[in-house]
Structure 1
Amino acid sequence: MDDSELEQIRKARLEQLKAQGSGGGGGSSAGGQRSAGGQDDEQQKRKQEEARQHILSQILLPEAADRLGRIRLVKEQRATDVENRLIMLAQSGQLRQKVTEEQLKELLNAVADNKEQEKIVVSRRKVWDDDDDDLLDL
């Protein structure tokens, strides 16, 4: 990434933080202005989503972005997790170049491995006093 791309990412992140900061003070508005506040919330969400998409377009190659879009159609939460991780890596300066499709696959596998570790397995005990056993003794 060159300096101009990093600067664009920083600006988008700054706008995102400003939008989040101004969203906290909106709760004290008068009752008659709540519909306008709802529109402001939608506008802020739209701006945040645009900022996310801008950052992702800066750090993903087109093939990787296409794959991530297909994943979003099937598993939206997994795509969001991967996007968040990519944005975090870009903001911390750990990405030196645009992410390829192969690198995206590796990141998806890492996220999938984490999800498998979080699974909870419920094992049920068999009931020992079963009425069917009584019929065998006849």
Structure 2
Amino acid sequence: MQELMARHGTGNQQNPEQQKAQDEAKREAEERRQMMLTQILSSEARERLARIALVKPDKARGVEDVLLRAAQTGQIVEKVSEERLISLLEQINSQTTKRTKVTIQRRRGVDDD
């Protein structure tokens, strides 16, 4: 029984070479991504995006995705300034802001008139 479990368990796991290759591919993809962002963002915009990434990494990643897609489709012809990045952030915030509604229901007591 243990022998069957051992064989079955190793079938799902990756060997160390495959894991290392995947890690290397992820690292190279991230380096390419950062190089592309360096080319399309001004230094001030990169700093602002880095500060956003410290607080909200998922939001910064989404903004990076939007910028990279725009650059790949040719919508960005010059470096993105900090002001343009701020306006893009404001647009994204207005689209993704969650609207919350608070409803207060008062309980009616026995001695309410």
Q: TM-score w.r.t. structure 1 length? A: 0.64
Structure 1 residues 37 and 110: CA distance shift in structure 2, 3 A: same
The Cα shift of 1:96 comes to 1.0
Specify every segment of 5 or more residues in structure 1 that has no aligned partner in the other structure, as ranges: 1-29
Out of 17, 20, 30, the residue aligned to residue 49 of structure 1 is: 30
Alpha-carbon distance, 1:35 to partner: 2.3
**Residue 92 (str. 1) matches residue 73 (str. 2):** yes
Q: 49, 55, 72: which is aligned to 1:68?
A: 49
Distance 2:24 2:43 in 1: 27
Higher helix share: 1
Distance 1:93-1:120 versus aligned 2 partners, 3 A rule: same
Q: TM-score, normalised by structure 2?
A: 0.77
RMSD: 2.2
- Identity rate, percent: 36
Task: Report the Cα distance in structure 2 between the residues aligned to 1:37 and 1:55, rounded to whole angstroms.
Answer: 27
Change (3 A) 1:46 1:123: same
| Cα deviation digits, residues 67-101 of structure 1 (max 9, x gap) | 10001001111111110010001100111100000
Contact map agreement 1:78 1:111 (CA 8 A) in 2:
no
Structure 1 counterpart of 2:84, from 103, 107, 118: 103
CA displacement, residues 80-123 of structure 1 (integer Å, 9 cap, x when unaligned): 1110010001100111100000000011111111111xx26465
Secondary structure of 2:62's match?
A: helix
Report runs of 4+ in structure 1 exceeding 4 Å deviation.
30-33, 122-125
Q: Please give the per-residue CA displacement for 1:3-61, whole angstroms capped at 9, x wherever unaligned.
A: xxxxxxxxxxxxxxxxxxxxxxxxxxx66852222222211111111011010000011
Which structure 2 residue ranges, 5 or more long, are not aligned?
1-10
**Counterpart position of 2:6:** none
